[in-house]
Amino acid sequence: MRAAARAGREVWGATASTADADAAAGDGFRVESTVDAALAAAAERDALVVLAVPLPEVDGVLREVAEHAPQCLLTDVVSVKTAVAEAVARRVPDARFVGGHPMAGTAESGWTAGSAELFEGAAWVLATEEDTDPVAWREAAGLALDCGAKVVPTTAGEHDAAVARISHLPHILAAVLAATGADGGPLALSLAAGSFGDGTRVAGTRAELVLAMCDGNRSALLTAVDDALGRLGAARGALASTGGLAATVRAGNDGRAALDFLRDGPRDELRIDLTAPDAFDQLRELGASGGRVLRLDGDTAIAEQPE
Amino acid sequence: MRAAARAGREVWGATASTADADAAAGDGFRVESTVDAALAAAAERDALVVLAVPLPEVDGVLREVAEHAPQCLLTDVVSVKTAVAEAVARRVPDARFVGGHPMAGTAESGWTAGSAELFEGAAWVLATEEDTDPVAWREAAGLALDCGAKVVPTTAGEHDAAVARISHLPHILAAVLAATGADGGPLALSLAAGSFGDGTRVAGTRAELVLAMCDGNRSALLTAVDDALGRLGAARGALASTGGLAATVRAGNDGRAALDFLRDGPRDELRIDLTAPDAFDQLRELGASGGRVLRLDGDTAIAEQPE
């Protein structure tokens, strides 16, 4: 709400938390007393409804959407996309829906954990499916860009597979490393330096947050964990038989170099005509190549992608 | 040499690298033209000889020690301790030896990678075995403390098991995470945030350094990798059967909390009489509890350990 308001948008909301409602109202924002009332106002104005609740609450809120704004423009900011898309298809089949996931936020939650600058420069994924409503896509993209984010178009399935690898798996490996290190007792921990400190930092994240994140993405996460197990098992085998960790270490070098290149390497600008029949294909290709939409200029998306 | 000289010690050295020799001489240090000459001078003065070469070079340098200073006070700063102790026992059985490992340094090597402040506040392991020469132990401890480090007494075997868990395993898991993330392609890497960045930072370390480190500690590292494989496999099984990562995540929370407690928690001061018959037992107990020697006061070691 703060980021959208800063961009000059009219915003209102509702929350089950009295404390958050009071805090938002205290900051001058329009807070409806019930979700029903907020949805009814959205239906009347054909406003974009943004679902910002934890995954276990999605289904319950969608029932209210179905009752009060069944055909609304709808997006969400939940961290997994397939489960939300399935719930929307089941509960609000007539909504013009596009799944969203801004890669921003902290370990905290509630009104005080946010700010108008939270999304500045962040990647904001939009699930760009064959059957995604183009109007909803534009509305959600406009919101993301207004909030200072860059839009990464992909599918719900690709998104979930990607975050399993780069967000959920890191938490599991950090937990495994922290526990295996602690098994070495105080001596081992007293010798820990940068590599152990970095590798275990997110092992300090509150367990409920990590569990909620991983539970909603079980299938994609299993694939990522299996890949990691395969690679770790291969390292173990090579170490036991020939002492040769070269393949493991070089693959790690390459992976890290690919990350650095994507972050700091040269980029090309490109333009995508959103009225073209294959516009969504082009957008998904952009996302698959590590690119992102920087802004909308009428019917044209201005984007950048790695060279 | 810089850290020891800053503490007022007389130092001289030799190196196979002409560039490093020139750089050290340029900074005003005494550099002998050959290792033989440096060793002969050490033998004449009964100086403490510090072996600071990569593990594969240890054996060759020890042959020169055997020739020119066979009974010298000897320590080393190589990152694994069992392999070095075995080489010393084989090549220079009469040396008064204590293995050492300062937990400091960067990914760089050579004269320019060091500084007088490099060891400030770092843990400096001393291999405190049943048969370690007490005079050599005191000399090496004095050097470490003069350099600004804190002495962690343990055995070569315990040291190698510990660093396998908190230094070598983190590099392997970082490599596995970087490669598994990169397998997700540019889309996955473009969504990577803090958890992936932290977890893969050391995957950017030069491969030769990581391989040299791990190769010298194969047996202890195998144990650590097997422990990590067991924990990751258990997480995989729980995720596949019940979705329950709770045990994994909570063990990670606990491990990280143990690290934080050891780093920032309250500490007791204690004193160990180095002339007591069980002084080395007490020192090893200190190290095993996560403690370290802060300074020497005559025959007394002033130490701290976690409460």
Contact B235/A170, CB-based, under 8 Å?
Answer: no
Choose among A196, A248, A290: nearest Cβ to B190: A290
Choose among A103, A239, A262: nearest Cβ to B193: A103
Q: ipTM of this model?
A: 0.93
Contacts of A262 in chain B (CB under 8 A): 186, 189-190
Interface residue of B166, B226, B241, B253 to substitute, partner A, most A CBs within 10 Å: B166
State residue A213's pLDDT score.
85
Contacts of A240 in chain B (CB under 8 A): 222
Contact B189, A167 (CB under 8 A): no
CA distance B138 to chain A (A): 21
State residue A173's pLDDT score.
98
- Average the pLDDT over A205-227 and give the result: 92
Q: In terms of Cα–Cα distance, which of A75, A81, A18 is closest to A49?
A: A75
Contact A101, A123 (CB under 8 A): no
CA distance B44 to chain A (A): 36
Long-range contacts of B106-115 (CB under 8 A, 24+ apart): B107/B205, B107/B206, B107/B209, B110/B17, B110/B19, B110/B20, B110/B23, B111/B17, B111/B19, B111/B20, B111/B23, B111/B24, B111/B27, B112/B23, B114/B2, B115/B2, B115/B3
**pLDDT confidence tier of residue A102, bands split at 50, 70 and 90:** very high
State which of B114, B134, B154 marks the end of a domain.
Answer: B154
Residues B165 and B149 in one domain: no
How is residue B164 annotated by DSSP?
I
Torsion over CA: A264, A266, A271, A272 (sign): negative
Contact B259/A194, CB-based, under 8 Å?
Answer: no
CA distance A151 to chain B (A): 11
Choose among B173, B287, B288: nearest Cβ to A199: B173
State residue A134's pLDDT score.
95
Contact A72, A171 (CB under 8 A): no
Residues A117 and A205 in one domain: no
Kindly state whether residue B45 falls inside one of the protein's structural domains: yes
Residues A203 and A107 in one domain: no
Lowest mean pLDDT across A108-112, B35-39, B283-287: A108-112
Kindly state whether residue B208 falls inside one of the protein's structural domains: yes
Choose among B187, B235, B258: nearest Cβ to A290: B187
Contacts of B174 in chain A (CB under 8 A): 195, 199, 252, 256
**pLDDT confidence tier of residue B243, bands split at 50, 70 and 90:** low
State residue A243's pLDDT score.
63
Number of domains in chain B: 2
Residues A225 and A115 in one domain: no
Contact A229, B232 (CB under 8 A): yes
Kindly state whether residue B177 falls inside one of the protein's structural domains: yes
Residues B191 and B64 in one domain: no
Rounded to whole angstroms, what are the CA distances from B132 to A255, B47, B74, B82, B89?
A: 44, 17, 11, 13, 12
Mean pLDDT of chain B: 96
Residues linked to residue A152 through DSSP beta bridges, in sequence order: A125
Contact A290/B243, CB-based, under 8 Å?
Answer: no
Q: In terms of Cα–Cα distance, which of A67, A93, A77 is closest to A147?
A: A77
CATH of the domain at A215: 1.10.3660.10
Distance of CA A168 to the CA centre of its chain: 11
Contact A231/B176, CB-based, under 8 Å?
Answer: yes
Contact A162/B179, CB-based, under 8 Å?
Answer: no
Contacts of A239 in chain B (CB under 8 A): 214, 218, 221-222, 225
Rounded CA separation B103/B77 (Å): 9
Choose among A180, A186, A225: nearest Cβ to B290: A186
Contact A236/B229, CB-based, under 8 Å?
Answer: yes
CATH of the domain at A63: 3.40.50.720
Kindly state whether residue B137 falls inside one of the protein's structural domains: yes
Residues B68 and B115 in one domain: yes
**pTM for this model (two decimals):** 0.92
CA distance A67 to chain B (A): 32
Residues B44 and B173 in one domain: no
- Average the pLDDT over A152-178 and give the result: 98
- In this structure, the number of other CB atoms found within 10 A of the CB of residue A90 comes to 11
- In this structure, the number of other CB atoms found within 10 A of the CB of residue B17 comes to 12
State which of B225, B244, B263 marks the end of a domain.
Answer: B244
Interface residue of B152, B183, B249 to substitute, partner A, most A CBs within 10 Å: B249
Judged against a pLDDT cut of 80, whether residue A77 lies above it is answered with yes
Contact A123/B181, CB-based, under 8 Å?
Answer: no
Contact A156, A126 (CB under 8 A): no
Interface residue of B168, B183, B191 to substitute, partner A, most A CBs within 10 Å: B191
Contact A222/B236, CB-based, under 8 Å?
Answer: yes
Q: In terms of Cα–Cα distance, which of B219, B275, B214 is closest to B55?
A: B214
Q: In terms of Cα–Cα distance, which of B93, B152, B162, B91 is closest to B127?
A: B152
Question: pLDDT exceeding 70 applies to what percent of chain B?
Answer: 100
Rounded CA separation B152/A199 (Å): 23
Rounded to whole angstroms, what are the CA distances from B257 to A256, B95, B200?
A: 28, 42, 21
Q: What's the token pair of residue A32?
A: 């409806």
Kindly state whether residue B111 falls inside one of the protein's structural domains: yes
Contact A199/B306, CB-based, under 8 Å?
Answer: no
Judged against a pLDDT cut of 90, whether residue A193 lies above it is answered with no
Kindly state whether residue B7 falls inside one of the protein's structural domains: yes
CA angle A249, A255, A260 (to 5 degrees): 125
**pLDDT confidence tier of residue B215, bands split at 50, 70 and 90:** confident
CA distance B87 to chain A (A): 19
State residue B42's pLDDT score.
97
Contact A232/B225, CB-based, under 8 Å?
Answer: yes
CA distance B267 to chain A (A): 13
Residues A138 and A165 in one domain: no
pLDDT tens by residue, B254-281: 999 999 999 999 999 999 999 999 999 9
Judged against a pLDDT cut of 80, whether residue B85 lies above it is answered with yes
Residues B145 and B173 in one domain: no
Choose among A162, A171, A250: nearest Cβ to B188: A162
Q: Is B121 exposed, middle or buried (CB count within 10 Å of its CB: 0-12, 13-18, 19+)?
A: exposed
Choose among B170, B196, B253: nearest Cβ to A166: B196
pLDDT tens by residue, A119-152: 999 999 999 999 999 999 999 999 999 999 999 9
How do the residues of chain A divide into helix, strand and coil, expressed in percent and rounded to 5?
55, 15, 30
pLDDT tens by residue, A232-274: 999 999 999 876 899 999 999 999 999 999 999 999 999 999 9
Contacts of B258 in chain A (CB under 8 A): 182, 186, 189
Kindly state whether residue B234 falls inside one of the protein's structural domains: yes
Q: Which domain holds residue A190?
A: 160-244
Rounded CA separation B22/B220 (Å): 38
Nearest CA in chain B to A186: B290
Q: What's the token pair of residue B164?
A: 């396998």
Contact B199/A170, CB-based, under 8 Å?
Answer: yes
Residues A114 and A18 in one domain: yes
Residues B30 and B149 in one domain: yes
State residue B4's pLDDT score.
98
Contacts of B265 in chain A (CB under 8 A): none
Residues A109 and A136 in one domain: yes
Distance of CA B8 to the CA centre of its chain: 24
Kindly state whether residue B275 falls inside one of the protein's structural domains: no
